[in-house]
Chains A and B, each alone.
Chain A
Amino acid sequence: MKKILLALSLVMIGIAYHNNVKAQSEEELVQICTMVAGDAEYLKDFRIKLDAGDPPPVQRFPVVLKKDVKYRFSVCNSKDYEGKVILQLFDNNRQLATTYIVATGKDYPYIDWVCTKTGAYHLVYSFRDGKAGLAVGLLSMVGTM
């Protein structure tokens, strides 16, 4: 009886610890991404977690961006997953910018965006080749134009 209770307590402590570690790891990704963004002022972070799929699943976030502001979009992948995150910036239906240039196969940890139109935009995150992944995207401000 006592052994079972002890085992139950240990399992609960273990799970609580595991949950804490998981939560911290997302926070750590935000901190890493903040460093990747450099001098740019933090505005918001986006947590992305997607299962594997074909076509690759996406996670979208609507944002309002302002004219005459230079924004920086940074991305950071969790080491625990295979997936490499891609950010695509859209307005109503046009892709405007991306962290992964298909033509060159180059992947960028951050890209800058000089905004000339105040309005709604969409950040669309996915993982290359539809792999499962965990990542953080950061929106920050480089400065005004």
Chain B
Amino acid sequence: MDKKKFNISNYFNGKLFIEAFKQVRVVGLTAFICLNALAIFLPVLNYMEMKEEMEHYAYQILFETTTIMLPLVATIFIITPIMYLMLFSFLTKRSGSDFYHSLPVKRTCMFVSFIIAIISWLLIITFSYTLLSIASANICYSKFIIDYTAITNYTINIFISCIAILGIFSIGTALTGTITSNIIFSCGLLVFPRLIINTLTNLLINNSITLTPNSGHFIFDNLINIPYSFLTVLFEGSYNVVSRLVIIEKHSLYTLLLGIIYLIIGMKLFASRPSEASSKSFRNNKIFSVLRLGTGFVLSLLIITTIYPLIYEEQFYDCIMDEKVPLLLVLLAIVLSMFAFEAANKRSIKNGLKAILFTPLIILVDIAIMFCLHGITKNYNNEIIDKKNVDYVYVGDLFSSYLNLTDEYSYDFTSYCNGNIAKTKITDDYIIDYLLNIYNSDRVTNFNAPSYYTFCEVEITFDSTIADKTRYVYLTSNEIMHLGEKLIQNEDIINCFYQFPDSDKSLIACPTSPENSALFYNTLISELKNLPLDILIEEYCSYEYSENYDSSGYIIISTFVNGYPEDFTLNVTSLTPKTYTMLINYSNEEIKDTTIDFLDMTKEDFSIPSINLYCDIYNVLPDGTSDIEYSYNINDIYSQKKETISMVLSLMSDAIKNNYVFDEENIHNDNILICKIYYSYLDTYGSYYIPLSVNSPLLEFIENIPDSDETEEY
């Protein structure tokens, strides 16, 4: 038996590829030049705007993937179909189609060579833009933080989407014969299947208690098809898909697979496409009928989405009557679409009227679908999950809810930690058992009970051998509290609080110089990692910081979580003495001269109204809490004698001039007190920390000021 040998020339022709590459160069080059100009221009513009600030603060830029990639997404999604339609425009002209089909090239080879030519342009445009953006940002900013994984994933996802778009248009071109019909058909192919799936899935999820968007069939995921999801961004303004682009996951693989399948189908259809189909709207009437019925069916989804939720209403008939006008309008739209499509294509009103006869068929399908949906929903609502099939649970926002129920916990560090917790798989037997008991109980009754008005949803995942199946479990406040207390003992959850981002992958805004920020940050997190969890939660997750610990400043960390920028703040307190000392010394060094000048000026004339000055003298106890011993502010000083005030200010100035430097030890030294001076005068302000020994002149003087000096008139 003869075996057919694989011959590359049957699938690719280099010269034809170059020819095709040249044919779309106008679009390709224009996009290439415009986008690369933007890649250079945007960071430069940003740099120019921030130049002044950058001189002062050595400004750092968090290179936000989604913002920088937006021009690329917009351009690439427009030029991909343009390039395709341009290169394959010969299929819409009889002469062109005949010409190309007369050439001694296999149709498959022609298709593949042409597609590769477009893909090459898209590759060049996409990756050059990404690389140039990074390079340009590198040149402009002294330091910038970029999530290379996110930006690479984003670029790959855009590229994958282009392949899917090419696939869709290849099918469209092969089945149609004019540019208009091609665009209509391709858009229909892009939108209709996913729109139908998503609408029905959403109906199912919205009308069932337990189903999640990932209910076990990833194909039902609303964002699984990237090009379609982008269309929803345009029409619905939902940006969920954008966050998906920074990761390579199921949606990338699905879109790639879909694109490849579409391209293979497109290639087969192109190879079998009769040349005489050119300039005819549709290759044959069956394809047109599918499109016409598809349009009618998509419109009829409005009927399902209106009626289906009403099934669960007690007064079904009354509800239907309330919706009769919209329903009649939808019905009219279906009838009109069926008529218009057929009448326009066949240019015959008679045929248009015949097409209306298909409307009852569509309505019957709608009714059948509603029955199916109802059955499926009922089935899911009564589902029982066996524990042996459960692999893990995601607690989502449960921990945040727990913290919220226990105290005013809503600080941004909580949000960061919660992000870590939400993606942690919890395999604890007790927690799984607890959740399964709730899930397998009479959830329909429970769900409608008043106790569920404040609920939190968690996901349980089971049967993950083939594909993950997830279900929501709803919890009452008591259940949340109970689980929260269990979770706080779970090692995986505890670890989530101690996972700090690396300094080289984060932007650290702190009161030290940018050069020292990494050292400062690393010192802080090494100290935080030694703190017990309850202290960490109490002091760093709480909206209101405890006043037990002296805070010398704070540090803002901007980092990427799942490719998205996220900020959180950490206070630098006496709980972390090393960092606390570093910050005080740095701060003192920076404002030493200004503070001395201020104090010297003020001691001569402190009657200037805008002057503000106060000081706290305290010591830090070994557990990090501070104990205020003396506290003075400017009003108290005004109540003192002029000489007393001058003496206090003079002693402060002397103490600063004596160059006392804090070290870690003297923070917790019983014999060293901290004198924190805060002052402001016009644009001058600052906080200066002076370590005072118990026998320092300033402390001795202050201690000996009588409680009520005679008030002087100034």
Same assembly: no
Interface residues, chain B, CB within 8 Å of chain A?
A: none
Interface residues, chain A, CB within 8 Å of chain B?
A: none
